[in-house]
Each structure stands twice: as C-alpha cells, then as structure tokens.
Structure 1
Amino acid sequence: MQGTSHHNQRIECWWSFLRKHCTQFWMNAFSYLREEGMFTGTYLDKALIQFCFLNLIQTELHDLQLEWNNHRISPSRNRIGPFGRPEIMYTAPELYQTRSYLMEVQQDEIEVCEEECVFRDNFPCDRDVYELCCIQMVDNNINVPVTAFDAMMLYERLRRLVLAEL
C-alpha cells in the first residue's frame, strides 16, 4: 500500500519544526568539519565535538522545547480535537474537558529503569579528554564558547593543540 498518511501529520510537523529551528544548522556545521578534513570520526574527534558543542546544543534543545510546549495549537475547521498550548493542555487537562492520562508507576519499576539508564554527568565527553581540553583552554587563555561560531573555533584550535601533543 502506498500513499500519504494523514495520521502522522503531527509528528511530521514536529520533525519539520525541529529541523528548521535547530538540527539543520548543526548538520551543516558538522558536515563542513568533515568536508574540510577536520573531523574523521576518531574517538578524539567525537570527544572534542562533545566537549565543544554539547552544552550549546543542549541549551538550544531546551529553548526549542519551551517554545514548542508553549506554542498555540489553533482550532481546525476540518478536525475535531483539542487546541491551546501543549504545556497547559498537559498540566491542566480539566480545562479542556478531558482527564489526565498519566499512569502511576510502581517504585520497583522506577528503580529498574534507573539501573538500566545512563544519566548525564558533569562531563560532556570522556573525562580524560575533558580534563585535557580544560588544561589547554587555561594554558592558552581560551574562553568557553557562547556561540556556535565560538564552538567551531574552539574545536579547530583544541584539535590542533591536542593532536600536536600526541
């Protein structure tokens, strides 16, 4: 069976929103590094990408989450369904004449999930690479990046400095 599905329009809308507002930029930036020979996929390259970019990307994703959860879903003439702000619809379903669909989870199930998950710690990359990068930044008077351009320059510089020491 072929053709378009009207049932996945919401998720397709979300993926389009995510790509336009966030991921396409990063895909282009990382493609540039690869095309210029500054990223070859080594363990060091991956750790440096994480060190330089992960906090910026996480902040951007958090901002995007807030924007999405607080945007207004408009009513539709052709569709019966809820409209409003997703955050309010989730936290106060009674305002939309519906109920909460949260399911209670037993403590032992939560503990199993906690045992199976790997949670983020304070290091965006391998701890040894993190410490090496921090030393290089202090020794070379390099600031923590606040923009994508800063992060790109940091990556290129740290990569040169670390590879020169190997």
Structure 2
Amino acid sequence: MSTRQLKRHLKYLNLTRRKIFSSAQSVFNFVYNQLETSGQSHGYRWMHQKCKMNGFKVKREDIRLLLQVVDPHGVDIRSRRRLKRRDYWSKGPNFCWHVDSYDKLKKYGLCINGCIDGYSRKIIWLKVGRTNNDPTVIGRYYLDAVNVHGGSPLFMRGDLGTENVLIAALQNLFSRNDTLEHNQFIFGKSSFNTRIESWWGILRKECCQTWMEELKDLQNRGLFTGDKLDTNLLQFCFMALLQTELDEVARVWNTHYMQSKKTAEGSVRGRPSNVYLFPELFQVQDHIHPIDKEVLELCKHECTIEHVLPCDEEIFELGCIFMEEYDLEPPSNIYEGKAIYIDFRSWIMNVM
C-alpha cells in the first residue's frame, strides 16, 4: 500500500492523529505526585503508561523530557542502571549480631550456620553440621561464641524460624538486667537481615560454588540419590573437610582490608578483626554485655553438644574400617574426598 492510498483510507474513515492533549499543568501535577511515592522508581515508559491509565492524553516523549526536569537524579541513576541501595548503620562492635543458615548444601547433608557482627563485619561463627534446624545446636554455637568473645551482643537479628527460638530466649535472658524495655532478639524477614544475607554471596563465590558443582556432579552421575545412606556417606567424607575450608574463609575474611563506602554514614575501613577489637580507634563504643560464668555453664546444659561424629555411628564405624583397610588418609581437598566417597560407597554396597 502506497502512502497516498493510506492517506485516502484514513480520510475516508475520518481518522486523524490526536491533536487534543491533556494540559501540561495537569500532567505535571500528576507526575510530581507520583514522584512523592514509589513512582520515583519509574522510568518514562512506565510513567507514560500510568498517565494513560489515569486518563491523560500525553506523548511519551513529553513524559521523558518532563522527568529530566523534575527528577534529574532519578533519571541519572536509571540511565546508569544503578540500584538505590539502603545504607546499613550500627553503633559499634557487638551492637548487633546477625545470624542465619545457609542451605545451598543442605540437600547433601551439609548444613551451614553463621553469625556476623553488624558493625565490624567480623565473622562470629561459621559452622557446618548435620542440621541447622535444631534450636539446641544453634544455641550451642551462640553460647560458645559468647564464651569466646566475653559476653553477648546488645541485640541479635535472625529469621522467623524455630532454629532461632532458643538463642532468642538466651539473648533476652542475658540482657534481663538492662533498662531496655523491648526484646533484644529481633525477628524479621531475610531481606532485612542484610549483613549476613549479603555475606552469603561472598561465601558462595569464595568457597561453596565449587562444592555445589562437585556434589552436583556426583548426583548427575547417579552416585548420590539423596537417601539416608548416601547422605551419611557424604557427611563422613566431607564434613570435616568443609569445616576446615569454612574456618579458612572466616580467617581470610576477618583479616582482609575493607574499603569504606563514601556515601554510607558510619561505614568504616580496616580489617574486621581490628575494627572489632579496637573500637576506640573508630570513635565508637563496644557494646559487649558480660555474662556470669555460672549462668553460662548452666545454659550450656540446655544445649546439645555439637555432634562429635559427622554421621550416624554405624556408618562412621564402617568408614573407619574402610579407611584402615585401604590405608587411606582423610581427604585434603574436595577431589580426594570425591574419590574416597565413590570407593567407600562401592565398598559398602558390596558389604551390604
């Protein structure tokens, strides 16, 4: 169809381009009100669509130009595709500890739980065990940390899960003489537990991604089915090795040099261990709450001692027999662990 023919059809149907638009003032008022709410995150395409849905007749190009005038900062951020992130704030070391579980390796029977100090970003504990759902196991991690660090923090934050029930009770018990009227364990969504949630990305990059790939390889080859036997065999071969790697990750992290974020108030530079141990160098106060030793020992009786064995006792005994029979040493890396796991699994299948 030629241009001339198209124009003739449009004229016959009495169709013309829209010439009547909403007033500039009314459109401006609408857009300005939108920028006072979540509309500040909208690009010009989305804002133009909202204008149309609210009965305004306006060109998309006009909305683009209007946003450049009334919201230049937002336009700049969106054009650089940068998210506007919230800034974390804390009064000092031991003001708030953040606790959470990491479940990427949980289906293999390797359950990780960790805790980080909000101000210094020092790793308080990083443990792998047979479970991270048992509140008594998590409680034991907490009590051991309290014993090592000489007291409890002013606040703790964790997810709304049963695994945190006991440490919440212990945290409130240790702080019962404080003048604060509200609970000192803060339950909330994972999205608000930013310190530990963001650190899990670092753990995955520096350690767990390799583990996920190698254990997935066993699963793809049909050498791990997820049943109780395979889970116990894998725990026997890998639990101690993974804990060693987690300890190393925590040591490296606690001694690495952090750059401060210029736009974040209260952000500090330095090594997490130094920031944690020497708060006076950063003009902040240590908020550690000393705990009576007798009270601490009494609380330990209510918590499960960490499983001494990495797996069920029967599998552990068979594993020791297998290692002794073939004169094998504990694996020093994940690849040696895989070889031992495959041979141990084949051996135990023949025994059974």
Same fold (TM over 0.5): yes
Q: What are the equivalent positions in structure 2 for 1:1-166 lying under 5 Å apart?
A: 6=86, 7=88, 10-81=195-266, 82-107=268-293, 109-111=295-297, 113-166=299-352
Flag the structure with larger Rg.
Answer: 2
Counterparts of 1:110 and 1:39, CA distance in 2: 41
- What are the Cα deviations for residues 42-75 of structure 1, in whole angstroms up to 9, with x where unaligned? 2221111111111111011001001111111212
Which deviates more, 83-92 or 152-161?
A: 83-92
Identity %: 34
In the TM superposition, what is the alpha-carbon distance from 1:10 to its structure 2 partner?
A: 4.4
Partner-residue secondary structure (3-state), 1:55: helix
Q: TM-score, normalised by structure 1?
A: 0.87
Provide the alpha-carbon RMSD of the alignment: 2.4
Task: Give, as a single letter, the amino acid of the residue that structure 1 aligns with 2:260.
Answer: P
Counterparts of 1:149 and 1:133, CA distance in 2: 18
Counterparts of 1:22 and 1:116, CA distance in 2: 33
Mark the CA change 1:5 to 1:77 in structure 2 (over 3 Å): closer, same or farther. Answer: closer
Counterparts of 1:31 and 1:112, CA distance in 2: 42
Task: Give, as a single letter, the amino acid of the residue that structure 2 aligns with 1:134.
Answer: C
Q: TM-score, normalised by structure 2?
A: 0.43
Task: Give, as a single letter, the amino acid of the residue that structure 2 aligns with 1:139.
Answer: E
Structure with higher helix content: 1
Structure 1, unpaired ranges of 5+:
none
Counterparts of 1:117 and 1:5, CA distance in 2: 39
Counterparts of 1:4 and 1:152, CA distance in 2: 43
In the TM superposition, what is the alpha-carbon distance from 1:106 to its structure 2 partner?
A: 3.9
Counterparts of 1:30 and 1:119, CA distance in 2: 28
Counterparts of 1:56 and 1:22, CA distance in 2: 12
Task: Give, as a single letter, the amino acid of the residue that structure 2 aligns with 1:66.
Answer: R
Which deviates more, 69-78 or 46-55?
A: 69-78
Counterpart position of 2:50: none
Counterparts of 1:71 and 1:91, CA distance in 2: 15
Counterparts of 2:210 and 2:311, CA distance in 1: 21
